[in-house]
């Protein structure tokens, strides 16, 4: 499948755009599950989801750093940037749906699939033909239509391979691959979170480190349960919720032996799965507020795009905006949908102006 | 009548007296807790009396004040419900009330639930975060507070979205509500 390999800078940019899309696409499902928890009495689940979602935001910023380092332009405002949910992710030779839904055992199963370590059993299976599904697949090959990666890990492995390949090619021709404006990098002073600092990407070594960090924080490193920063990888964090037990140092995958952990599966707002504005009654306040949320979110993605294209200091101002988004999401989720007998609303993440969604109309 | 059957009427009354929409009230996540607080303190019969009086004001403008807020019995309870939504606290009924209508076993001043304080409407009303809870983000205090519009008064006051827009304008083209109302709000904001 040589035609799927990254051999040009344009292809590398396309892959990195797909990486930005992919890292962002996990955020709406994680946030919705997090804020569907009725209150913080479900604190283990609350903390695990919160850590993971904040780290996905770090991954998004790292993907932007790599994109900027190789002279690309992170654009979170493109019409296809936010997927139409359920989004679709590769699962070996098949794919699976990622729903926006309440916190539940089914949701955690999906999260495990998102973060699952999955190396293709044979090299020729790293890239496989897409099934009959017509849905837009995240981590599909941007350069070989009809092909998908065996897993997210394999998708990132191709980005790393492409970075090394292009760096060598450029060096041979006496050119520099990493020509991006250094001032576009998201540096630690503009990024406020736990779970790791942004890696400033200035060359091949730091670019590979950033890509490894993204992939490793999801699925662990080299078959272990910890990532490069000695933090429990996302897959194993979620596994604790199913196991009812924390991992501790020295544990083997699948066999946590730490303290017991309690999940109150029923203490959750039951939100409508993959709700769209059309699910909310015409003329209702709920519909108006859900529509306004989508506009606010689209504006937030425009704001992040500015931060990632030369004004990284804006990320400091993005933090209060994110807290307001949190409050908006919680208000939506606490509202029952009129006429739906106790089923609650959720943000729909339909971006205004995108064809095929009801996002443009409040009526 | 069960608490569930009363919930819609309790919310309608609460919306009227707090000037927050039913959506916003539900959005606090405290509706059930506040209804059960009121029921526990004043009892079903008295709450029914209040909600019944409210229902009768529906087609008679300006009777809310006369029939409820001026009532020796219902007035203090109605005011307590407003305070409950705004502060998350049930305040002990005044001595005049207990002298006339008898002391209630569950009356007293208390916070309705652990979630009540951060969800008090007063914080949204003044565009501030509840100190010690609901972190607003470092440096957020450098910006003007975002105050939600008063229902029925929207055209005169900029909406939160428009204000956010104005704040961020120096850096970003964040979403802009459409329509004449939004335009007017925007002009006010500037």
**How large is the ipTM?**
0.87
Report CB contact under 8 Å: A299, B168.
yes
Comparing CA positions, the residue from A293, A265, A299 lying closest to residue A277 is: A293
Give per-residue pLDDT as tens, A162-208.
999 999 999 999 999 999 999 999 999 888 766 678 999 999 999 99
More confident residue, B31 or B176: B31
What mean pLDDT do residues B93-103 have? 96
Tell me if A295 and B168 make a contact (CB, 8 A cut-off). no
Half-sphere exposure of residue A210: CA atoms within 13 angstroms, side-chain side: 31
pTM for the full model?
0.88
Assess contact for A275 and A344: CB atoms under 8 A. Answer: no
> Which pLDDT belongs to residue B152?
64
Closest-CA residue of A relative to B27 is: A331
- Chain B positions in Cβ-Cβ contact with residue A298 (cut-off 8 Å): 175
Q: What is the pLDDT of residues A305-320, one digit of tens each?
A: 999 999 999 998 999 9
Q: Please determine, for residue B182, whether its predicted confidence score (pLDDT) is greater than 70.
A: no
When pLDDT is averaged across residues B59-63 and rounded to a whole number, the result is: 75
Domain A2-243 classified CATH 1.20.1260.10? yes
Q: Express each pLDDT in A120-145 by its tens digit.
A: 777 777 888 876 565 677 877 888 87
Pairing of strands A87-91, A94-98: antiparallel
Domain range list for chain A: 2-243, 277-360
A318's CB contacts (< 8 A; 6+ apart) are: A300, A303, A304, A307
Tally C-beta pairs within 8 A across A and B: 83
Residue A91's Cβ-count burial label (10 Å; 0-12, 13-18, 19+) is middle
């Amino acid at each position: 499948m040589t035609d799927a390999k990254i051999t040009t800078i344009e292809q590398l940019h396309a892959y990195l755009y797909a990486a930005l899309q992919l890292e962002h696409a996990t955020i709406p499902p994680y946030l919705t599950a997090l804020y569907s928890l009725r209150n913080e009495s479900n604190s283990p689940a609350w903390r695990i989801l919160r850590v993971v979602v904040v780290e996905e935001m770090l991954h998004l910023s790292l993907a932007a750093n790599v994109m900027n380092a190789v002279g690309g332009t992170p654009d979170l405002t493109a019409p296809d940037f936010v997927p139409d949910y359920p989004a679709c992710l590769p699962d070996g030779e098949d794919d699976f749906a990622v729903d926006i839904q309440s916190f539940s055992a089914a949701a955690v199963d999906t999260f495990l699939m998102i973060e699952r370590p999955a190396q293709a059993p044979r090299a020729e299976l790293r890239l496989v033909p897409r099934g009959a599904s017509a849905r837009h697949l995240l981590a599909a090959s941007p350069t070989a239509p009809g092909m998908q990666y065996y897993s997210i890990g394999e998708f990132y492995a191709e980005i790393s391979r492409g970075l090394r390949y292009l760096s060598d090619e450029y060096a041979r021709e006496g050119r520099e691959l990493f020509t991006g404006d250094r001032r576009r990098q998201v540096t630690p002073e503009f990024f406020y979170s736990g779970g790791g600092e942004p890696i400033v990407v200035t060359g091949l070594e730091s670019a590979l480190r950033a890509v490894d960090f993204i992939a490793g924080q999801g699925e662990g490193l080299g078959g272990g349960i910890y990532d490069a920063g000695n933090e429990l990888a996302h897959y194993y964090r979620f596994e604790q919720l199913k196991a009812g037990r924390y991992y501790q140092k020295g544990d083997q995958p699948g066999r946590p032996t730490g303290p017991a952990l309690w999940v109150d599966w029923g203490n959750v707002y039951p939100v409508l799965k993959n709700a769209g504005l059309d699910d909310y009654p015409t003329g209702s306040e709920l519909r108006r507020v859900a529509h306004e949320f989508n506009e606010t979110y689209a504006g937030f993605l425009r704001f992040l795009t500015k931060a990632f294209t030369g004004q990284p200091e804006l990320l400091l101002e993005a933090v209060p905006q994110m807290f307001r988004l949190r409050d908006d999401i919680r208000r939506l989720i606490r509202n029952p949908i009129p006429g739906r007998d106790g089923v609650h609303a959720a943000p729909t993440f339909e971006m205004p102006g995108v064809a095929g969604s009801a996002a443009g109309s409040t009526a | 009548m069960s608490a569930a059957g009363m919930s819609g009427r309790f919310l309608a009354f609460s919306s009227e007296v707090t000037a927050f929409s039913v959506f916003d009230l539900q959005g606090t996540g405290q509706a059930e807790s506040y209804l059960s607080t009121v029921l526990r303190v004043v009892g079903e019969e008295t709450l029914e009396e209040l909600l019944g009086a409210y229902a009768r004001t529906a087609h008679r403008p300006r009777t809310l004040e006369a029939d409820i807020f001026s009532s020796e019995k219902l007035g203090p309870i109605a005011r307590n419900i407003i305070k409950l939504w705004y502060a998350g606290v049930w305040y002990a009924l005044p001595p005049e009330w207990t002298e006339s209508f008898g002391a209630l076993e569950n009356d007293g001043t208390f916070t309705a639930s652990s979630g009540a304080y951060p969800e008090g409407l007063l914080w949204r009303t003044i565009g501030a975060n509840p100190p010690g809870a609901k972190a607003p983000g470092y440096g957020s205090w450098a910006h003007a507070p975002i105050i939600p519009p008063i229902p029925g008064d929207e055209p005169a006051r900029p909406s939160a979205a428009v204000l956010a827009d104005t704040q961020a304008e120096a850096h970003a083209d964040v979403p802009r509500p459409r329509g004449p109302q939004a335009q007017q709000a925007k002009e006010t904001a500037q």
